[in-house]
Structure 1
C-alpha cells in the first residue's frame, strides 16, 4: 500500500509593476506573457525574493514594493507585491527574459498569458492598482 505524500505549495514572489494605468509583462523564450516573479529560496523572505527577481530579471531597483497578500494557484503560493514605476525607469532584460511590454489591464486576456498569470488575473488582480497607477493598501488579499 502506498501512502501519498503531501507536498507543501511552492512559494513565489509575484510583482505587479504599474505605470500610467498599464502593467508590466515579461516573456521567456517560447512562452506566453506573465507577471515578473521568482521562486523563493529556502528561508528567503518574500519581499527579498521580489526585489531580487526584479533586479536579476529586469535590472529594476524597487524600494517601493508593497505586500498586498497571497494567492494560491495550483501548487504555488504567490506572495503578491505591487509597485509603481516612474516614466523615467528603464527596463533591461536579463536572466532568461526575452521580452517585456507595458499593457493596459483591459487588453489582458487569458489567451495571451501563461495559465498561472491568467489564473491570477481571474482573481481580480486589477483591484490591486488604482486607476491612477499607485498600489492600493490592501490588508488581506487571500483567495483559494
Structure 2
C-alpha cells in the first residue's frame, strides 16, 4: 500500500504596484521577472506580509495596500494586493532583488515571467486589478 504525503499549501502575499497602466516587476539573479511579494510568516496577517515584502524588496512604504483577491496556484495560496504608486515614487533594490522595471499591462506576457507569476498572470490578474 502506498502512502501519499500531503504537502501543506504555502501562503504568500503578492503585490501589484501600478502606475499609469503599468505594473512593477522585480527580478532576482538568474531568475525571470515576478511581482513583488513573498511568504507569509505563521500568524502574520497577509496585508502585514505584503507591506513587509515591499519594504524588504524595494524599500517602499505603501500605506494604501488594497486587497484584490486570492488565487491558488499549485500548492501556493496567494493573497493579492494592489497599490498605485505616484510618478515621483523612489525605491531601492534590496533582499536579493537585482532589477526592477515598469511594464505596460498590455505588453506583459507569461513568457517573460517566473512560472508562478506567469500562472497568476494567466488567471487574469489585469482583469482583477482593473475591476478592483
Normalised by the shorter chain, which TM-score bucket? over 0.9
Partner residue, 1:73? 73
TM-score (normalizing by structure 2): 0.95
Partner residue, 1:140? none
Query: CA offsets, 1:38-87, max 9 Å, x none?
Result: 10111111000000000011000000001111100011000000010001
The structure in which a higher percent of residues are helix is 2
Deviation at 1:8, TM superposition (A): 2.2
- Is 1:3 the counterpart of 2:20? The answer is no
Q: Give secondary structure in 2 for the equivalent of 1:129.
A: helix
Partner residue, 2:17? 17
Q: CA RMSD in A?
A: 1.1
Answer with 2-11 or 78-87: which moved more: 2-11
Partner residue, 1:39? 39
Query: CA offsets, 1:76-100, max 9 Å, x none?
Result: 0000000100011111000000000
Partner residue, 1:129? 129
Output the CA distance in 1 between the equivalents of 2:122 and 2:111.
Answer: 12
Q: Which runs of 5+ in 1 are unaligned?
A: 131-135, 138-144
TM-score (normalizing by structure 1): 0.88
Aligned positions, number:
132
| Kept in 2: contact 1:82–1:128 (CA 8 A) | no
Q: Give secondary structure in 2 for the equivalent of 1:5.
A: coil
| Kept in 1: contact 2:68–2:129 (CA 8 A) | no
